[in-house]
Chain A
Amino acid sequence: MKRTKITVGVTGINPIDSPGPGIPVIRGIRDSVEMESRIIGLSYESLDPGIYMHELVDKTYQLPYPSAGADRLLDRLEYIQSKEHLDVIIPNLDAELYSFIKLEPQLKQMGIHMCLPTLFQFEERHKFHLDEFGKKYDIPVPKSKTIYAPEEVYGLHNDFMYPIVIKGKFYDAGIAHNPEQAKTYFNKISAKWGLPIIVQQFVMGNEYNVVGLGDGKGNTIAAVPMRKQFITDKGKAWAGISIDEKTLLDMTRKFVKATKWKGGFELELMKDANGKYFLLEINPRIPAWVYLAVGCGQNIPEALVKLAMGKKVEPYTDYAIGKMFVRYSYDMIVDISEFEKITTLGEL
C-alpha cells in the first residue's frame, strides 16, 4: 500500500506524572500503515520530555502559553507553518483548546486542518454546566454546583451530603468531608486554576473511562471503555484494562448522537454500589491512555487525522477485551546543547 505523506503538529508532549496525551497520540499515528507521518511537537515548557524523544518527534517548536491569547498563538503558528507546512494539528490540552477552536478558520486558510468540537460543544460540556448537560441529554450526573467564594462552602450542607468533591475548572480535585476541608481545597485549587470551583456530590464506587471519537454528524467512530487498575496520587491511571461493558458503550453513543460531538473525547464515569453509572466529566480531547485503544484495535489518533483531512472514516465496531496498559517512567540522557537550543531558539 502506498502510504500518504502527512505532517502533523501535536501538543501535550509532556508525558510526566500528570501526562499529556501527545506522545501516545504520536505513537498511534506512527503505527498507521496508511500514513507516513512527519511529527512536529508543539510544547510549552523546555523540559517537556517529548521534545527530546527524537524517535517519535521529528522537530519541536515552543508555543506561547494559552494565557498569552489567541493572537500570539496565531503569530507563532504562522511562523511554524512557513517552515513545516503542517497538514493537521492535534491540540491535546484542555487549557489551549479554546484558542485553537477560535483559530480554526484562520488555520484552515493556512492549510492546517483540525478535528475539534465546536465552541458550543466545548462550552456546554464544561464541569460547571454538567447539571444542565445531564438534564438536557438525559444522562445521569452527580448533583453539582458552581461557587465563586470560599465562604459559600458553609452553605453547601443545604444541598449536599458530605463527603463532596471540590473540583477546579480545568484540573485538580479533592474529596472534602467537612466545610473546613472544602474551604482548604477551594483555596488551593482556585489559586492554581482560577474560578469558578465546582462542587460535586461524591459518588462512592469504581471509576470507569471511555475514550471515543465523534465525526460531528452524530456517529461514534471509535469507543473503548477502560477500568483504572492503578491510580496515582494525582488521580491519573497508571494501569488500566479494556472492558466489555455495553452500558458504557450505549451511554457513549447516546452522548455522541445527542451532541453531534466532533473530535476525540473522554468520558469519566463512576459506577455506584447499585451498578448505576454517573457521568462525572467530559474531557473534550483525547486522554493520555489512548494508546490502550490503539492496542485494542481502534487507532483513534489515526482516525482523527483522517477525519481532520476530510476523509471518510468507517466506524470501528470491535475491540479487544481484557487488554491492559501499564505505564512506566524512563530517564532519557539529554545533551545540554539540546536544552540550550529549545530554551534560546524556541525550537529543536
Chain B
Amino acid sequence: MCTICIKQEFYTILQAKTEIILMKINKNLAISENGFCLNPVTGESFSINPIGAEIIQLFKAGMTSEKVVKELCTSYNIDEATMERDLYDFVNVLKHHQLIQADEKN
C-alpha cells in the first residue's frame, strides 16, 4: 500500500470515529458569542477560540463531521486532510474534558 493510500485509509478511520462521537456532544453545553463554554454537568468552563466555537455550534446543530469538514474547508480555504486531522484532535480535546459523552455507541 502506498503512503497516500495508508494516509487516506487512516483519515477514513478518523472520520468514521469523529462521525460517531460528534453525535454525542452535550446538548446542554452553553457557549457564548465570545467562545466561553460552560459544561453544566461538571461546572467546568473553557475559553474556546472562534473556530472551535463554530465547530461546536455546527455539531450541536446536528451536522456530521463530513459536513463540518466541508463547511470549514470552504470557509477557511484549507485542504480536507488537514481539516480532518485538526478536527479529530479537537474532538479528542472535547472528549478529554467530557464535553462529549464517553459512550460512543450510536
Contact = CB atoms under 8 A, between A and B. Distances in A.
Main secondary structure of the interface of B (DSSP, over half): loop
A206 B40 CA distance: 15
A17 B28 CA distance: 35
Interface in A201-227: 206, 208, 226-227
Main secondary structure of the interface of A (DSSP, over half): strand
B7 to A, nearest CB: 33
B102 A229 contact: no
Nearest to A246: B41
Contacts of A242: 43
A206 B42 contact: yes
Given A244-B28, A275-B102, A322 B41 contact: no
B93 to A, nearest CB: 17
Contact of A243 (B42, B98, B102): B42
B38 interface: yes
A258 interface: no
Contacts of B42: 206, 227, 243, 245
Contacts of B28: 244
A321 B40 contact: yes
A53 interface: no
Interface residues of B, number: 11
B30 A322 contact: yes
Interface residues of A, number: 14
Contacts of A208: 43
A58 to B, nearest CB: 36
A60 B42 CA distance: 40
B1 to A, nearest CB: 37
A245 B41 contact: yes
A156 interface: no
Nearest to A206: B42
Contacts of B30: 322
Given A227-B43, A241-B43, A243-B43, A322 B102 contact: no
Interface string B35-74: 0001011111100000000000000000000000000000
Contact of A229 (B40, B43, B98): B43
Contacts of B38: 322
A211 to B, nearest CB: 14
Interface of A: 206, 208, 226-227, 229, 240-245, 275, 321-322
The 8 closest A-B pairs by CB, nearest first: A227-B43, A244-B40, A243-B43, A241-B43, A321-B40, A245-B41, A322-B38, A244-B41
